[in-house]
Structure 1
Amino acid sequence: MPAIFSKNSVFTGVVDSYCVACSQHLRTQEDVLAHIQTTSHGDKLKSLGYFEKYKNDFIRKVKSVYFCEVCNVLFPTAAKVGLHITEQSHLEGKRSRVVKRTSDVIVFQDNVVISDNAWNGLVEDNCVLCDREFDDVVVHKAEHSHVINLIKGAVTFAPDSAIYRKLDKIYQCLNCNKIVAGNFTEHLASTEHKNAVICHNSGDENNQSDGHSVNEEAGEKSTDDEKPVTSTPNIDGKSLYTKPVQMKDKKPVAAPSVSKDVESFAGRHGLTINNDVVQCAQCPARIPATLRHVQEHVFGFKHQQNLSKNREKQSSDESKKMEKVNFEKYVTELTMCDSNGGILFIIINKQFCFKTSDLLGIVIFNNKLICQFCRVELLNHPNACRHIESAAHRDLLENCMVITSVENEFIRELRSDMFDCCCCARVESDWEDMLEHLKTPQHKKNKEESDRLLRILTEDMAAKQRSNQRFSNPLNFDHIFQREMLAMLLQMRRF
């Protein structure tokens, strides 16, 4: 159940939902999404508010029922609500509702501040969530595996604003951003921990593990170089930081030259440097020439999205350059052979080996013969024989095009909206979809198996000096059709 549903006073089941505020039955999640965006729902929710006695527990009362937004549970009486709010599951859910990200820090209950490094499990040069060391903080935070571990890493809220993670036999205290291997209860009672909580509440910059002053994170600016900054940032009207910082006199500083690290990183990711400014042609954007700013841009959502779009465009451009040749002109040698299992194989140009059924486009699905090229079901044996020998089916095979612009692959264009990978007996209606298919692990596995069979059959034929029927242009498929039909019928009897 999406959290946004319960936050909008929607009681949700497996399929159906019910808006407590509007007394309306919603049949699907799409209905819920549409409903909670209506003006009438927003107005009712705003006028309803929370039940005064339990407003800090996110309980709403509508007529004679009480709804817990945290747990998605309904109660008939206030007495049962009183019992529910003491349950551990509710307390955990409630606390998670009052945790939010503000600027570069995590704020709990509007007054407890956790540094971004601590929230990400980064203690010195080690990530406790990924259980490994890292070289670059920005790069590691952007890694998909780290993000997944961050989301999976459960956080526990203890009394007195303590927040920690339990990882195997150790604890990470997020208030102190410290690993505790011994008695964690003793750590929570220690002066060190209590001071850390107090310092984070007051915003003491010396306890910010990110290495930036609190006033820098809050974005404070002084209008008088000789006066201390005393403005206090706040969230929901409550002060986060109170300690003033004396601003030093501003002195002109020469523009720093671009470091070798920045040049190297920018070059590896296709960025250019001009007049001590890094430029990204993908986005386009001008980026300050610091390693942190360049890395944040490269691993940022906008840049990654633009890269993906450009790759798609490049793939589209490649598809326009697709080279192909007529099947009859492409095939210079075609050999049929039997495997030990009685399955017929076709070897094309001594390079590709396929089951003849895959070449013909005939597959068995749910004990039925299907022609995936003509997109028809072959209901019975006589009908299957007639279809394979039909002019329409044979014309489709004999006049198809073989794509030659993809190396070491046998891909046919049967029609403008039908591309066939013989190796996998896979048909795609779009060329870009076929290109994506060729990258899949399943195709690579099938290709390896096809190459292995080619070597085995070739060696077997050479060893036994078998005589095989060969077809030269113009191709005659009669022999292939007749033998393949017998093999398909035998295969049908096995089911």
Structure 2
Amino acid sequence: MDANKNRIKARLNKKINLEYETSNRAAFLYIDLSEASMSYLLHASGVVTGSLSCFCLACDAFLQSARHATHHVGTAEHQQKAGAVQLSDKFPHDHIKKFKRGYYCEFCNVLMPIASKVNVHITEDEHKHNKGVLLLKPLGLDVVAFNNVLIEEKAWHGLIEGVCSLCNAEFEDEEDHKADAEHSLNLVLKPIQFAADNAIFRHLDDTASQCLICNKLLAPGRMSEHFVNAEHLEIYAKQHIETNGACRGTETEEITAVTENNDKVDDCDNPPTENFEKDIEEEETRDFAKANKLTYNKNNKKSFCRICEVHLPASFKSIKEHVEGTNHRRLVASSTPSTTEPKDPGNLSKQETIKFIKSTVDIETPFNIVTIINLKYCILPNSLSLIWKNDSRIRCVLCNMNLPPHSNVSDHINTRQHSLKWINVPVITSERNEFIREVHPGLYHCGFCHLVVSGWTDMKRHLECSDHVQRKAVWEQRLRDHKAGAQEFLRLHPQTVFVQLMKMLNE
């Protein structure tokens, strides 16, 4: 009982105590994720820190050193003045405060004279990194990022199906491996990195990076595409928590504590009923898997989706979540032509892609490449080309075919067959603020979500759902960020639009 209590207490402790043996003595490595640096505590109190001296923006006072500043922020006068200054409503998630002398970023210790400078600052990589690091906090053995995104323990330690991505090694016992000195050191040395839209990842080496939300390894060059993939966004939404003391991690630990400290009085009650219910559950799981084109194998506790070509646990919950997932549904829609073509509503205005698109500009950002269309829409290049990529699986929605794993997508896009189909795809112009194309009769592609929906009724429903609204808002912000650069490019290169494509088609 005492051992159980101690273990539960350790799981709830905000300090992760990693014990390992070295030369017949115990050594301890403490990773305290919750303590901010002294500098940040000063910044959060409205104190700008320099190489030696400091300046309090709340009190408009010069402070000779960090020691003087630390004493100053503890005074009642300072706390009263600093407490009256709230985070800016314009930048609620970026810890920007407006003082008499300008806008101050607590994360970066930067003072800016006007709000437009702040708009630029919060998009910079350094700000994203500082924001991400300073908002990492422990929650039991899990970690919370940005105060509302849960990184689960396995992902934090880089453990994926018996392999540690931090140590690049297999392991047999998870707890023993996490307590190993080499793993502990790698956990410290492999830094967390942050990308646009609060994406969180580790760059492991030249061949692999780890998404901490999905706990998945990808080639570094594919991370930016992964971050806007529908499956990633779906998992990201599921990891959203409210850090008000009743978040998922805390509830889990409380339930564990209660379970392990109760006497097991019901373990042997009615075993025949328990076995009967288990048989029914297995039968329902098998039938559900078969109906949705999954191979179910209860012996090895695995199932295989023949549509997505992925393995997953053989539980009803896992299979149901996969079947209802965005990635599975869109692959079903693209690979299964409708037996009865949905009728056009009649009020849809359409225009061929070649006539609709007047200009496209690819903008390379530190994290990905975006395509700006007609200076009005911003989407992924693969969304424009109607290409889906999921791990090594590549599929052309337009040509309705799978491409060889790891093949060069450009080789297919530039073929005459794909290009001729692409320029003739109708764009739905009656939805003025959306970029929707009818890739096949009755199948509509949403450019912002890179998603195919069967039937116009379902597409209208999709346009009203929260997922679409949120993703569209992200792409509209990216358009605002890069529109000026695209305009300048088109001013300098007015004749580049579609020249290469049309030249190829006329050969």
TM-score, scaled relative to structure 1? 0.39
Which structure is larger by alpha-carbon Rg, 1 or 2?
Answer: 1
Question: Which structure ranks higher in relative contact order (CA pairs < 8 Å, sequence separation ≥ 6)?
Answer: 2
